[in-house]
Structure 1
Amino acid sequence: MSAVAIIDFGSQFTQLIARQVREMGVYCEIFQSNISFEIISKFNGFIFSGGPQSVNDSYSETNEVAYEIIKFNEVTNVPILGICYGQQLICHYFGAKIKREFNQEFGKTKIKILKESPIIKGAWDVNSEVDVLMNHADSVEITPQGFTVIASGVINQTIAIIANEQRKIYCTQFHPEVKATINGSKLLSNFLDIADCERDWTMRSLIEKQKEKIKNTVGEKKVIAAVSGGVDSSVAAALTYKAIGKQLNCIFINTGLLRKNQTITMLEEIPINYVDKSNLFLSRLKGINDPEEKRKIIGNTFIEVFEKEAKKIGDVDFLMQGTIYSDVVESGHNSGNTSTIKSHHNVGGLPEKMNLRLMEPLRYLFKDEVRLLGKEIGLADEIIFQHPFPGPGLAVRIIGEVDEKKVRILQEVDEIYINTMKNYDLYNKIWQAFAVLLPIRTVGVMGDGRTYGYVCALRAVTSSDGMTADAFPFENKSQHSLIFWDFLQNVSSIIVNSVSGVNRVVYDLTSKPPATIEWE
């Protein structure tokens, strides 16, 4: 099977490269920039991502694998595509000067196509001007020997595309993987053709590959799995069960931070052990306000509980988690160059010494890919297409200190919000929706009396993978009817009249970025 290795130098767009390559039917993997070359030497082609650093900074060992790949190319002609920082790194290797632009380019700009090349075949014509997304401070000043300029910036004359056709090395200063670059996906597709990649990767082939990987990793050992009833843990558990059967021991921990009356339904043949530790989690969160500290407390407590349950089962060696790629990216664990946005329960907050080995079969899959995998395995639509729910549960949707009363209030609000959304036939049109309880109170009037209650914020977003998101507009533009006010006023009225302790409802209109989807 054909495969491409993506070397991640810290770009927030790296996962978009992988998404597009996979959607084109080619398997790819993302590797940290300090990966050993021996591990990735068998791939059909290599893509160097962008990144926040400068090649003019002091020498970094994270560049070593890139240099080894370029040396490998000299012997084998294995194709390489460098994007943004990747272009600068390649040009720096060949002795070109990299300069810091006075007019740095961040956002949409235009480039002009100067020459034909296999890398742009069918994407853009010579002499055409193309909208692309630039995101750089440094740029290449002079094209290195052996390379030809294929395109340059219209305004700043930035060296936008260069190619060494003989060695099959191609570089772009812009990001072809983002939607803002017109027809950039065709450039990526051309690179896959140059790398002689067969378009033979499917979800079925991924399932078989992961099942074999799980079997080889686990052997005859036992695995303990944290299942919450959410999409990620359910799909991860079902995939693992398909691979190793009864060696998998699923445990559902009631943290006291779950949705109201939350239950689990997966594949009927998978047994689940229910453990109630709500008092333990809530007691450890008492007096804690910092969101990162809350996440780490929950992560530590999860592992502690799992290890105790593992001892009851006996001879357990592995802990399986439903970590997906957006968790990894936001936690900064994928690359030493990536900044941490927030730690995730599945990838952050783990003790330095853990008695169980981690197994994460979905680690490099995106949310929509996880759903496709779940569908292929045979999970029900009500599991696959449910809205994402965070590992730390309602603790990160209660801003500030968490206690039993606040959890009860938010559970009631959440249930009303989701059920009303389903009544309006909106649930499946929204990628994720939830309520947040704010740590402020406001004055209200109910009947003839004064109230002093909490404010809850409602959030609903559209997205495909959780890496970017827009607030759901609650309107049907084709019919010119504003469902927005009807729905939100109705759900607000139900919440305030039904949930004791809440007297005000607001709606969050912020996109990601600049905000994250969850508030904490």
Structure 2
Amino acid sequence: MDFKALKGKPVLGICYGLQLIAHQLGGEVKKAEKREYGRASIRLLNNTPLFQGLPSEFNVWMSHSDVVTKLPEGFERVAESSNSSNAAIQSSDGMVYGVQFHPEVSHTENGKKILANFIFNICKAQPSWSMDNYAEQAVEEIRREAGSRKALCAVSGGVDSTVAAVLTKKAIGDNLTCVFVNHGLLRKNEAEEVLRIYREELKLPNLIYIDAAERFLNKLKGVKDPEEKRKVIGREFAEIFEEVNSRYGPFELLVQGTLYPDVIESGESRAGAARIKTHHNVGGMPKGIRFKLIEPLRQLYKDEVRLLAEKLGIPPEITRRHPFPGPGLAARVIGEVTGKKLRICREASHIVEEELKKAGLYDKVWQAFAVVGDDKATGVKGDERSYGYIVTIRVVESEDGMTANWVKLPNELLEKIANRITNEVEEATWVTYAITHKPPSTIEPQ
């Protein structure tokens, strides 16, 4: 980074950004004696416009193994934690700031306020963005990019692809063809419900339904690696779109509901970014695919897409539905996707969702589902020994999916869920509960 070129302009370094500022301006960065991963408490030491209006001590989210041990000349520390004496720094001219924690994640208290202080108080920016403006701009951009060309939009029943389809419909009308592919990895009764909404309520243009369940499951036979499963699914989708193109096209454009977290986790947000997992929207498609991609939601987070969906009049059956991975239940079946494991995962997940809805908790959590792998355990059913699958329940709360906390469900509810799964799902003998945050884990197991 060329700080000379930025002289006189506000700069905020976050986590590694703080370390980069210190290193390039003459400070020192060393390996920490104790790494900081997760929740930490920071204490404010000096007045700074970055922390204006904040309490003197609050919790933040740390994720670092190096620390700044010596500040550059002309800098002072403005906050500390138990493991980071320089948890936040600022330059004497009030133009350069650095924080060792992550204000952008929901786990950090006052994170939005810190970013707002920097943007509006320090940078003097004027707020002009709104979801209404975004919708109008997205429609105009799609219309400009598409022109008179025909577009194909893959819709899944999720809020992301549905919003992308509705925006594109507004932009190009009947030049849009929507295709809903049932890859056999959907939730219970999902295909029927989604088709009804698409046909009767949203009236998506030129809707094509393809039942490709057997085709996908055959391709997934013997595939155990999660990355390879995602790529197999991505390639199969691409082949189906090519077939649709040959039969109903030609189409030059492919519309996808890619979100910003998908881009980040696939390592495509910037050069050299680490890949956490490949998303079928951004990493599973073959390099030679000949559609030009339109991704109107690529800069949005899930909570923003839901707001946009409500403004577009999309029914709550879709807007309030929990996020679902592109590879479907293949992301929740660990190891090879077999018919038996898929059925167990689908039925158990349905029970989890049903019980949360009965308890009035479904809309209060981010995601709730079941996971099944190859591990088995002994149980007793009908006074007989039963050797069946271990089902793991995952329930998390989050604002944007970038970070998440596991939810402490009431013991009575967990017991009810476990009893229903072991009684109603054949070959499920044990039920466990995942109690790991994101990070260090991801929300989905694969």
TM-score over 0.5 for the alignment? yes
1:246 maps to 174
Distance 1:103 1:290, change over 3 A: closer
Q: Is 1:82 aligned with 2:13?
A: yes
* Secondary structure of 2:76's aligned partner: strand
Q: Is 1:228 aligned with 2:156?
A: yes
Cα distance in 2, alignment partners of residues 255 and 175 from structure 1: 38
1:257 maps to 185
Counterpart of 1:504 (choices 403, 426, 430) is 430
Distance 1:291 1:129, change over 3 A: closer
Cα distance in 1, alignment partners of residues 48 and 356 from structure 2: 51
Cα distance in 2, alignment partners of residues 130 and 261 from structure 1: 45
Counterpart of 2:45 (choices 107, 113, 116) is 113
Deviation at 1:109, TM superposition (A): 5.4
Counterpart of 2:350 (choices 407, 415, 438) is 415
Distance 1:154 1:349, change over 3 A: closer
Cα distance in 2, alignment partners of residues 443 and 105 from structure 1: 40
Distance 1:306 1:88, change over 3 A: same
Distance 1:319 1:490, change over 3 A: same
Q: Name whichever of 403-412 and 459-468 sits farther off.
A: 403-412
Distance 1:356 1:174, change over 3 A: same
Structure 2 runs not aligned, ≥5 long: none
* Secondary structure of 1:352's aligned partner: coil
* Secondary structure of 1:201's aligned partner: coil
Cα distance in 1, alignment partners of residues 366 and 130 from structure 2: 24
* Secondary structure of 1:200's aligned partner: coil
Distance 1:495 1:280, change over 3 A: same
Is residue 81–residue 87 contact of structure 2 (8 Å, CA) maintained in 1? Answer: no
Cα distance in 1, alignment partners of residues 81 and 443 from structure 2: 36
Is residue 414–residue 434 contact of structure 1 (8 Å, CA) maintained in 2? Answer: yes
What per-residue deviation string (whole Å, max 9, x for no partner) do you get for residues 115-159 of structure 1? x554444447xxx67766653514263424xx4426264876538
What per-residue deviation string (whole Å, max 9, x for no partner) do you get for residues 149-187 of structure 1? 262648765383222538x44334444445676645444
AA matched with 2:433: Y
1:386 maps to 321
Aligned residues: 434
Counterpart of 1:270 (choices 180, 199, 204) is 204
Is residue 106–residue 399 contact of structure 2 (8 Å, CA) maintained in 1? Answer: no
Cα distance in 2, alignment partners of residues 469 and 133 from structure 1: 12
TM-score, normalization: structure 1? 0.76
Structure 1 runs not aligned, ≥5 long: 1-65, 476-483
Cα distance in 2, alignment partners of residues 182 and 472 from structure 1: 18
Is residue 87–residue 101 contact of structure 2 (8 Å, CA) maintained in 1? Answer: no
Q: Is 1:316 aligned with 2:251?
A: yes
AA matched with 2:243: K
1:192 maps to 119
* Secondary structure of 1:190's aligned partner: helix
Deviation at 1:405, TM superposition (A): 3.3
Counterpart of 2:28 (choices 80, 90, 98) is 98
2:270 maps to 335
* Percent identity of paired positions between Structure 1 and Structure 2: 43
TM-score, normalization: structure 2? 0.87
Deviation at 1:211, TM superposition (A): 1.4
Q: Is 1:517 aligned with 2:443?
A: yes
Is residue 85–residue 173 contact of structure 1 (8 Å, CA) maintained in 2? Answer: yes
Distance 1:268 1:97, change over 3 A: closer
AA matched with 2:231: K
Distance 1:495 1:136, change over 3 A: closer
Alignment of 1:93-492 (within 5 A): 93-94=24-25, 96-101=26-31, 103=33, 106=36, 108=40, 110-114=42-46, 116-123=47-54, 135=64, 137-139=66-68, 141-144=70-73, 147-149=74-76, 151=78, 153=80, 157-158=85-86, 160-163=88-91, 165=93, 168-178=95-105, 183-193=110-120, 194-263=122-191, 264=194, 265-266=197-198, 267-271=201-205, 272-475=207-410, 484-485=411-412, 487-492=413-418
Cα distance in 1, alignment partners of residues 428 and 275 from structure 2: 34
* Secondary structure of 2:148's aligned partner: coil
1:5 maps to none
Cα distance in 1, alignment partners of residues 311 and 154 from structure 2: 22
Computed over aligned residues only, the root mean square deviation of the Cα atoms, in angstroms, reads: 2.7
